């Protein structure tokens, strides 16, 4: 929805899960010299201030990156994620939070390329400003990533990480995500697709994981991080999930070490828990 601004939620527990996974996926792609594309269907602004504007009004980052910022003994995957956040905060104070595009830009090599979609008229202006010096390595598209991604697949190097993470404030996003992933797999079956979704008291969210599992019978990883019991009244985010199609074989083991730590450290009440489901080839 065009009213949605991710800045309100930047750095919260859902971002921690999503970006910890994204860092691991990109680092795995970097193990081979061959180029890849990073494609983001809902890129947002790219970078968010935590002391001003939307994030300062809600301080949701206190429930996420804020709890990890001073920790000295993090599991390896979380340490690598926090390092990417630290790279944006050179003085050691947590002032800014990197969105997925900024994290990807930091980890990409010279031979890799970025393709970003953003529909919100204000967010895309900020996104373009943040990537004004990216040159030919980054292409930014004003429009609906659900539709726009079709023209990009298969990518020229036949390697890609695709992040699909709409806000889901419009309940149609659940069905559109499933359709988008299905069509992407038809065009580029070997791509790595990372799908984020919220845990909320909504029927579409409750049945979404089982629908994702039907996208392909094998070669997927489903991880969840729940930080609290569902809120009274049924409104509010109490966790999130990442569903990865064609994940690297190393990711499941990495998450087995990461998720217990996150469930304990980011817990808001007795409902905190985590989940890992994996189906290999």
Catalytic residues: 165
How many angstroms separate the CA atoms of 125 and 206, rounded? 34
How many angstroms separate the CA atoms of 151 and 197, rounded? 24
Beta strands 37-40; 113-118: pairing state: parallel
CB burial string 211-224: b at 16+ within 10 A, e below: ebeebbeeebbbbb
What SS3 class is residue 232? coil
Sheet strands side by side (includes 239-245): 138-142, 113-118, 37-40, 160-164, 192-199, 239-245, 220-226, 273-279
Q: Are 152 and 115 in contact (CB under 8 A)?
A: yes
Query: Which conformational region is residue 143 in: left (phi greater than 0), alpha (psi within -120 to 50 degrees), or beta?
Result: left
Nearest alpha carbon to residue 64 among 31, 18, 123, 114: 18
Cα radius of gyration rounded to whole Å, the chain: 17
């Amino acid at each position: 929805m065009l009213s949605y601004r991710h800045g309100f939620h930047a750095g919260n527990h859902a971002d921690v899960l999503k970006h910890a996974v994204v860092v691991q996926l990109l680092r795995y792609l970097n193990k081979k010299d061959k180029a890849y594309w990073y494609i983001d269907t809902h890129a947002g602004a790219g970078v968010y201030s935590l002391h001003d504007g939307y994030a300062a009004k809600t301080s949701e980052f206190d429930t996420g990156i804020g709890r990890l910022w001073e920790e000295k003994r993090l599991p390896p995957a979380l340490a690598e994620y926090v390092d990417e956040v630290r790279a944006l905060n050179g003085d050691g104070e947590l002032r800014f939070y990197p969105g997925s595009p900024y994290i990807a830009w930091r980890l990409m090599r010279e031979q890799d390329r970025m393709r970003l979609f953003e529909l919100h008229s204000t967010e895309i202006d900020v996104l373009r400003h943040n990537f004004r010096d990216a040159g030919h390595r980054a292409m930014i598209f004003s429009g609906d990533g659900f539709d726009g991604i079709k023209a990009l697949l298969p990518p020229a190097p036949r390697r890609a990480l695709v992040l699909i993470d709409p806000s889901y404030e419009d309940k149609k996003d659940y069905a559109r995500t499933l359709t988008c992933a299905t069509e992407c797999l038809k065009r580029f079956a070997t791509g790595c697709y990372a799908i984020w979704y919220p845990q909320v008291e909504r029927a579409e969210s409750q049945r979404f994981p089982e629908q994702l599992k039907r996208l392909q019978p094998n070669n997927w990883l489903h991880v969840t991080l729940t930080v609290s019991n569902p809120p009274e009244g049924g409104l509010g985010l109490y966790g999130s999930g990442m569903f990865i199609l064609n994940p690297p074989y190393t990711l499941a083991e990495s998450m087995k070490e990461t998720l217990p730590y996150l469930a304990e450290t980011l817990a808001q009440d007795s409902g905190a828990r985590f989940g890992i489901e994996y189906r290999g080839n």
